Structure 1
Amino acid sequence: MSVSCSDCFSDLLCGEDSNIIFSNGGEDLPECSSDLDISMPDVEESIAGLIENESDFMVPCSDYMEKFHSAQSIDASTRADSVAWILKVKRYYGFQPLTAYLSVNYFDRFLYSHQLPKMNGWPVQLLSVACLSLAAKVEEPLVPSLLDLQVEGAKFIFEPRNIQRMELLVLRVLDWRLQSISPFSFLSFFAQKIDPTGTYKGFLTSRATEIILSNIQETSFLEYRPSCIAAATILCAANDLPHFSLVTAQHAESWCDGLHKDKIISCHRLMLQTEFNNRPRKQPKVLPQLRVMTRASITWSDSSSSSSSSSSSPYKRRKLNNRLWVDNDK
C-alpha cells in the first residue's frame, strides 16, 4: 500500500486546505524561483540598512585592545592560535567561510563582555570549540558531533556535556544574538558595482573571500567595520585584474552611503602590508667558504715542495675544481 506525500504530512499542516500545497500550483500562487527579480534600489536600501546596523555586532576596538594589554586578559598570540585552529577545522570539514567568521565574531564578542577564569590553556580552547560549534549549527547543513569537531591538533579533548555548558554560557553572554553582519554580506553588491556585466564577479567575490579569511587572525582589522573590510578586499581583488587596476577607494566610497574613503584607504593599506609580511621569502643561498691561495704562496710552495708534493699538486687542484663545479651546479 503506497502512502502519498500529502498523507504523511497531513498532521503537520494548519487548518488551510492542504491540497493546495501539494498541487502543481494555482493561478493565485506566485511561482517559486531561485532567481529573484529584485530591483537595484531595493538592494541598495538593504545594503544601507546593513551598514546602519553593522556596528551592533562589533566589539569596540579600543576597549577590546586594552584587554589584550591587561594582565588578566587574553593576549594576541593566544587569540591568533585559536583563530588558526578554527580555520584549520573549517578547511578540514569544508565549512562555509561565514562559519569561520561567525566563530571568531562570537569569540571576540564573548571575551569583550566576559572574562574566563583562566585566559590561556584549556578555557580558551573550550571557548573556541563552543563558538565553532554554534556557528556551524547556524550556517552548516551538516554538523559533526562535538567529539568529531575536535580535530586538527586540538590540544585538549572535552566531553560533549562540557562543550554544551560552554555553548549556553556563550549564548547568554551574546544575548542569543547569533546572526551577525559580516563582510561577506557586501561582497556580491560591491563586485556588481565594479563589474555590472558580471563577467568577473565570481573571481572578485572568491578572491575577496580568501583575503578576508587570511586577515581574520590580525587584531588590527577589528578597528574596521565589515562594510569597510568588504570594500577594501574587493579593491584588492579588482587590482589583480588589468581591467580594474585603476579602481580606487574614491570609487568605492560612491558605492553606497555609509562608506568612508579614508577608512577604506587605511584598511586597504593594512591588507597590502599584511600580505607583504606574510609572503614567504626565499632563504639566501649560502656558499661554502673556500680557501683562496695567493700567487706568492703558490710560488713559495712550488719552490719548497719536494717531488712527492709536486706530484700531488694536480690532485689538489682537481679536488678544488670539482668542489667549485658542484657549487655552481647547485
Structure 2
Amino acid sequence: MSLSCSDCFSDLLCGEDSNIIFSGGGDDLPEYTSDVESIPTDVDESIAGLLEDERDLAGVNSSSSNQSVDSSTRTESTAWILKVQRYYGFQPLTAYLAVSYFDRFLNAHHLPKLNGWPMQLLSVACLSLAAKMEESLVPSLLDLQVEGANFIFEPRNIQRMELLVLRVLDWRLRSISPFCYLSFFALKIDPTGTYTGFLTSRAKEIILSTVQETSLIEYRPSCIAAATMLSSANDLPKFSFITAQHAEAWCDGLHKDNIASCIKLIQGVESNNRPKKQPKVLPQLRVMTRASLASSESSSSTSSSPSYKRRKLNNSSRADDDKESSDYGV
C-alpha cells in the first residue's frame, strides 16, 4: 500500500536538495561522530570531551515543547526498529540512534494521527538516517520496510520525511550515546581486561532491551552507561560488590543517586521482559495416614477372606471327588 504524504502535511515538501544530506552540505554543519575511536587518544581527555558534549547536547535532546509522546505508540515504533535491527544485523548503536531521532522529533514537532501511518513513516525515516550514519551497507528504502511493517511507502515519500526530520532536528544528528562510555567503564570495573568483553556485550544487550522504556529518556547517556555496566557486573560474582557509590568516582558528572535510580528502573524493565516460568504440575499423590492405611488393610483382608474360604472349600471338595473317583476305578 503506497501513500502520498503531501496531502496530509505539506511541510514534508522541503526545499533542500537530498544530495547534500550526507555530502557535507556546507561548512557550518557539525561533523558527526558517535564512536570513541575518532576522538583523541588520551582516554581521560576523550571522556571529558564526551561529557562536555553531553551537557551541550542536553538541551537539544530534551523536550522543547510540552507535547508528550504516547507510550503505546512509542513502544510499537521502537519494537519495529529493534526487529529490523536484528533482521539485518545492524549495530546496537544504529537502533539506539533511530529511537533517539524518533523521540527528539516528536518532542519538537506534531504529527497528525491518521490511522498510525505517519508514525510508521517517521520510524522508517529515523531508522534510515541512523543506518546511513553507522552502517557500511544500508538496504534500499523498500527493503528496509520488513518485519511486519503495516504500511509500505514509496522511496520518494521516505526521503521527504528524512528531510523533515533533518530540518526539525536542525541537522544535528550528532548524539552522545551510552555506547561511547562502555569500554571505559568496563576497564574501571576490570583493569586487567579479562572480563571487559563480557561486560560491554552484556551492557549493550541491556541497553537495547530497555530502550523502549520512556522513563529512561530522563537520564543522561553517561548515567545509563554506568547503570547498565553495574547491572552487567552483578552477573559476575567477582564484581557483585561494586555499587553506584563506586561508579560515581569513574568520571565527573556521575551521581550515585541517579545511577541507583536508573539501575532500579532497568531491573524493573528486565524483570517484566523476562519470560515467566510455567509452574510445574506435580502428579496428585494419595496421602494416607497410618490409621487409614491400617483400616484399609483390615478392610481388604476382611473382604478377601470369604473368597479365600470359598476357594479352600472348593479345593477340598475337588480333592474328595478325586478320591472317590479313584476308589471307583475311574
TM-score scaled by length of structure 1: 0.71
Task: Give the counterpart of 2:189 among 185, 191, 194.
Answer: 194
Shift in alpha-carbon separation, 1:53–1:188, aligned structure 2, 3 A: farther
Residue type of the alignment partner of 1:269: K
Task: Give the counterpart of 1:272 among 240, 264, 267.
Answer: 267
Shift in alpha-carbon separation, 1:48–1:285, aligned structure 2, 3 A: closer
CA contact (8 A) 2:79 2:212 kept: yes
> 2: distance between equivalents of 1:283 and 1:77?
27
Map 1:270-309 → 2, pairs under 5 A: 270-285=265-280
> 2: distance between equivalents of 1:43 and 1:165?
36
Paired residue for 2:288? none
Map 1:86-125 → 2, pairs under 5 A: 86-118=81-113, 121-125=116-120
Residue type of the alignment partner of 1:262: D
CA contact (8 A) 2:81 2:98 kept: yes
Map 1:181-330 → 2, pairs under 5 A: 181-285=176-280
CA contact (8 A) 1:48 1:258 kept: yes
Shift in alpha-carbon separation, 1:134–1:37, aligned structure 2, 3 A: closer
1:67 corresponds to 2:75: no
The SS at the match of 1:204 is helix
Q: CA deviation at 1:57?
A: 4.3
CA contact (8 A) 1:90 1:100 kept: yes
Shift in alpha-carbon separation, 1:231–1:122, aligned structure 2, 3 A: same
Residue type of the alignment partner of 2:68: K
Task: Give the counterpart of 1:48 among 37, 46, 51.
Answer: 51
Residue type of the alignment partner of 2:182: L
Q: If you compute each CA radius of gyration, which structure gives the higher value, 1 or 2? A: 2
> 2: distance between equivalents of 1:47 and 1:138?
18
Q: CA deviation at 1:147?
A: 0.3
> 2: distance between equivalents of 1:178 and 1:80?
22
Map 1:151-166 → 2, pairs under 5 A: 151-166=146-161
- After superposition, the C-alpha distances for 1:149-197 in whole angstroms (9 at most, x for unaligned) are 0000001000001111111111110001111111111111111111112
CA contact (8 A) 1:78 1:120 kept: no
Q: CA deviation at 1:281?
A: 1.2
Q: State which drifts further: 157-166 or 279-288.
A: 279-288
Residue type of the alignment partner of 2:144: L
Give the CA RMSD over aligned residues.
2.8
Map 1:76-87 → 2, pairs under 5 A: 76-87=71-82
Shift in alpha-carbon separation, 1:37–1:129, aligned structure 2, 3 A: closer
Paired residue for 2:42? 39
Residue type of the alignment partner of 1:82: S
Shift in alpha-carbon separation, 1:197–1:217, aligned structure 2, 3 A: same
Shift in alpha-carbon separation, 1:172–1:37, aligned structure 2, 3 A: closer
Shift in alpha-carbon separation, 1:170–1:266, aligned structure 2, 3 A: same
Residue type of the alignment partner of 2:231: C
Greater RCO, 1 or 2 (C-alpha within 8 Å, sep 6+): 2
TM-score scaled by length of structure 2: 0.71
Shift in alpha-carbon separation, 1:79–1:120, aligned structure 2, 3 A: farther
Aligned residue pairs, count: 258
- After superposition, the C-alpha distances for 1:192-241 in whole angstroms (9 at most, x for unaligned) are 11111211111111100000000001111111111110000000011111
> 2: distance between equivalents of 1:160 and 1:233?
37
Consecutive unaligned residues of structure 2, counting only runs of 5 or more, are 1-36, 286-291, 304-330
